[in-house]
């Protein structure tokens, strides 16, 4: 595919190279090789659990450690997807000429029937009503359909709050007696429970550059109050996906997609680009959790405390594994290493770090041990869309644990489809990972990415269909060559908000509303 001389300045100005563009085009045309799933990871076969005594031991290991921990929160998403069904309702209901109940009984609107019946439990419901009353709306005289429509318009329309244009992290998620808290604020409160050292908590948010001012204003507004409430000082940083990780797109004719000025369109290549952001952190241990997965604090007994508890368990297991790994690496680098140590290290790789491969030499054992480690919480799969834990055969013929997206599996192969459908657990993005090697030096995390684990996705730009590229995901292909351990955690610590309807679920409501 020809790249015009006039494109070169545009490409280089975006911190990209011709070589990178050509590789992207090749992936877009040929796709990525499918994974070879050996079997799903299940309890006692790739997913481990702990006894109460073991849990307490691991909690003590973490809490008594000297590691410098950081909480890393991917938060670049806009809230537009949260409100997609309400946007459709706002546009289609008035034009339908149907009565309210009949309209909502259509298959793709059935979920909204229950939503409109309980939306008074939304954290921002009172704000919507107050704004309407300020506009002279006599709410009590309206029909059920008119109430729903006016509330939706106040929520989303240009003359209202336009909440679909907010970053998801700045949407109010939870209501308390004195205030409403955004997901951003809740992550700070949560960090105070498990990433504190010397009364300081380090939290890093990856956001869209367009949203930086909004986040900085919010931080300035809320930080003093949260510090007073928790007794913790917060060191909060923001970063963005680097332009050099953006990719090109193809149009329906297989040509480079260009904008109205004829310039090549570059678009962000998914959360896999965040491996660079993670790589730039200075610390020993990182907790990774998505911006939309945070519970209401008033559900303390069943929500917040287990979050703290299981984060400490995962971190304690990582430290335990890391200490053993480092001791083997120090022994293996000695010239006069005992053969017994080599055999023990091989068994440790297989039984504890889940690397199944026939290793012939001491150097091979050293190579597979000298990798970043991640310990990932897994919940029982209750039908949520997303990746899951599997045993995968790699190009070096090793078999290892990986988090796999459905789109990475060739479902046209009956055996692969059967293995995918036999999966029992789901990846809630509840990860603790190490950043430093046995000599205390940072790993270069980009050395452990499998570049063949990206995906080609069909997208829309300005209403036009395009073929886009997603980099190897942060917790699948982006960490493909890490040493991996999966631990079962309770489902009630997983409280994602993918749509606004999720804010009405128990994990996001105070106990009196549940």
Instruction: Render pLDDT for 258-285 as a digit per residue (tens, 0 to 9).
Output: 888 888 888 888 888 899 999 999 999 9
- Contact at 8 Å (CB) between 476 and 35? no
C-alpha to C-alpha distance for 187 and 292, rounded to whole angstroms: 9
- Token representation of residue 52: 């109460």
pLDDT tens-place string over residues 217-246: 999 999 999 999 999 999 999 999 888 888
- Contact at 8 Å (CB) between 173 and 295? no
Ordered by start, the domain boundaries in the chain are: 5-78+258-505, 82-165
Residues 6+ apart with CB under 8 A from 249: 28, 256, 257, 265, 267, 459, 461, 466, 467, 468, 469
Above 80 in pLDDT, residue 203? yes
pTM summary value: 0.93
Which stretches of 280-413 are DSSP H helices? 304-332, 339-351, 362-369
Which helix or strand (DSSP H or E) is residue 59 part of?
Answer: helix 52-63
Torsion angle of the four alpha carbons 246, 251, 256, 259, in this order, in degrees rounded to the nearest 10: -80
- Contact at 8 Å (CB) between 131 and 163? no
Mean pLDDT of 166-184: 95
Provide the pLDDT confidence category of residue 255 given band limits of 50, 70 and 90: confident
How many CB atoms lie under 10 A from the CB of residue 6? Answer: 9
Q: Decide the pairing of beta strands 430-434 and 373-380.
A: antiparallel
Higher per-residue confidence, 275 vs 335: 275
**Nearest 5°: phi and psi at 214?**
-65, -45
Mean pLDDT of 401-430: 91
Mean pLDDT of 342-368: 94
C-alpha closest to that of 77 among 405, 506, 499, 503: 499
Above 90 in pLDDT, residue 215? yes
Mean pLDDT of 142-157: 94
The Cα-based distances of 418 to 184, 445, 476 in angstroms read 39, 33, 21
Mean pLDDT of 170-193: 95
Above 70 in pLDDT, residue 513? no
Above 90 in pLDDT, residue 290? yes
Above 90 in pLDDT, residue 371? yes
pLDDT, mean over the chain: 91
| Beta bridge partner(s), residue 493 | none
Distance of CA 428 to the CA centre of its chain: 8
Above 70 in pLDDT, residue 369? yes
Which stretches of 204-261 are DSSP H helices? 212-230
C-alpha closest to that of 471 among 210, 265, 276: 276
Q: What is the DSSP letter of 78?
A: B
C-alpha to C-alpha distance for 464 and 213, rounded to whole angstroms: 31
What is the reported pLDDT for 299? 59
Above 50 in pLDDT, residue 300? no
Percentage with pLDDT > 70 across the chain: 97
Mean pLDDT of 364-378: 97
Above 60 in pLDDT, residue 301? no
SS3 307: helix
How many CB atoms lie under 10 A from the CB of residue 365? Answer: 24
Q: Which of 68-72, 307-311, 321-325 has the lowest mean pLDDT?
A: 307-311
Mean pLDDT of 450-470: 83
Helix axes 110-118, 84-96, angle to 10 degrees: 100
- Contact at 8 Å (CB) between 496 and 293? yes
- Contact at 8 Å (CB) between 71 and 431? no
Torsion angle of the four alpha carbons 316, 478, 442, 347, in this order, in degrees rounded to the nearest 10: 50
What is the reported pLDDT for 268? 82
Mean pLDDT of 470-498: 92
What is the reported pLDDT for 245? 85
- Contact at 8 Å (CB) between 279 and 446? yes
C-alpha to C-alpha distance for 410 and 417, rounded to whole angstroms: 7
Provide the pLDDT confidence category of residue 128 given band limits of 50, 70 and 90: very high
The Cα-based distances of 281 to 189, 206, 407, 447 in angstroms read 21, 12, 30, 16
The Cα-based distances of 499 to 28, 82, 179, 207, 261 in angstroms read 30, 4, 22, 19, 35
Q: Decide the pairing of beta strands 430-434 and 285-289.
A: antiparallel
Percentage with pLDDT > 90 across the chain: 66
C-alpha closest to that of 297 among 231, 234, 237, 229: 229
What is the reported pLDDT for 451? 87
User: Using CA of residue 46, residue 400, residue 368, residue 74, what is the dihedral sign?
Assistant: negative
Higher per-residue confidence, 140 vs 365: 365
- Token representation of residue 187: 């992550």
Higher per-residue confidence, 383 vs 496: 496
pLDDT tens-place string over residues 2-41: 677 777 878 888 888 888 888 888 888 888 888 899 999 9
């Amino acid at each position: 595919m020809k790249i015009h001389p006039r494109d070169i300045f545009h490409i280089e100005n975006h911190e990209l190279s011709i070589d990178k563009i050509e590789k992207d085009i090749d992936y877009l045309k040929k796709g990525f090789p499918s994974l070879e799933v050996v079997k799903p990871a299940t309890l006692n076969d790739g997913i481990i659990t702990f006894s109460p005594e073991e849990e307490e031991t691991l909690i003590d290991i973490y809490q008594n450690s000297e590691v410098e921990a950081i909480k890393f929160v991917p938060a670049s998403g806009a809230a537009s997807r949260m409100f997609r069904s309400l946007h459709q309702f706002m546009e289609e209901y008035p034009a339908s000429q149907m009565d309210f109940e009949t309209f909502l009984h259509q298959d793709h609107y059935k979920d909204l029937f229950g939503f409109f019946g309980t939306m008074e439990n939304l954290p921002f419901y009172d704000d919507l009503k107050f704004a309407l009353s300020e506009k002279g709306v006599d709410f009590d005289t309206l029909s059920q359909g008119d109430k729903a429509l006016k509330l939706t318009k106040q929520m989303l329309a240009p003359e209202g709050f336009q909440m679909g244009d907010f970053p998801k992290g700045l949407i109010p998620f939870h209501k308390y007696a004195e205030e409403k808290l955004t997901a951003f604020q809740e992550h700070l409160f949560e960090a105070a429970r498990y990433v504190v050292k010397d009364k300081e908590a380090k939290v890093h948010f990856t956001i869209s550059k367009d949203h930086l001012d909004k986040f900085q204003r919010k931080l300035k507004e809320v930080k003093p109050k949260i510090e007073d409430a928790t007794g913790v000082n917060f060191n909060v940083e923001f970063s963005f996906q680097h332009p050099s990780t953006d990719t090109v797109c193809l149009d329906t004719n297989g040509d480079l997609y260009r904008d109205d000025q004829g310039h090549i369109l570059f678009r962000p290549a998914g959360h896999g680009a965040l491996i660079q952001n993670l790589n730039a952190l200075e610390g020993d241990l990182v907790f990774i959790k998505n911006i939309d997965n945070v519970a209401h604090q008033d559900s303390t007994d069943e929500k917040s405390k287990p979050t703290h508890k299981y984060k400490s368990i995962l971190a304690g297991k990582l430290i335990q594994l890391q200490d053993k790994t480092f001791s083997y690496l120090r022994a293996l680098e000695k010239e006069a290493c005992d053969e017994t140590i080599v055999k023990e290290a091989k068994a440790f790789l297989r039984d504890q770090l889940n690397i199944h491969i026939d290793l012939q030499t001491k150097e091979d054992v050293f190579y597979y041990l000298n990798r970043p480690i991640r310990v990932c919480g897994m919940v029982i799969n209750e039908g949520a869309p997303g990746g899951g834990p599997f045993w995968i055969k790699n190009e070096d013929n090793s078999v290892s644990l990986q988090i796999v997206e459905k789109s990475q599996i060739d479902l046209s192969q009956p055996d692969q489809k059967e293995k995918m459908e036999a999966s029992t657990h789901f990846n809630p993005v509840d990860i603790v990972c190490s950043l430093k090697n046995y000599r205390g030096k940072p790993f270069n995390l980009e050395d452990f990415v499998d570049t063949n684990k990206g995906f080609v996705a069909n997208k829309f730009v300005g209403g036009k269909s395009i073929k886009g590229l997603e980099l190897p995901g942060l917790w699948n292909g982006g960490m493909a060559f890490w040493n991996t351990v999966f631990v079962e955690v309770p489902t009630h610590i997983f409280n994602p908000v993918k749509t606004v309807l999720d804010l009405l679920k128990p994990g996001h409501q105070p106990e009196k509303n549940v």
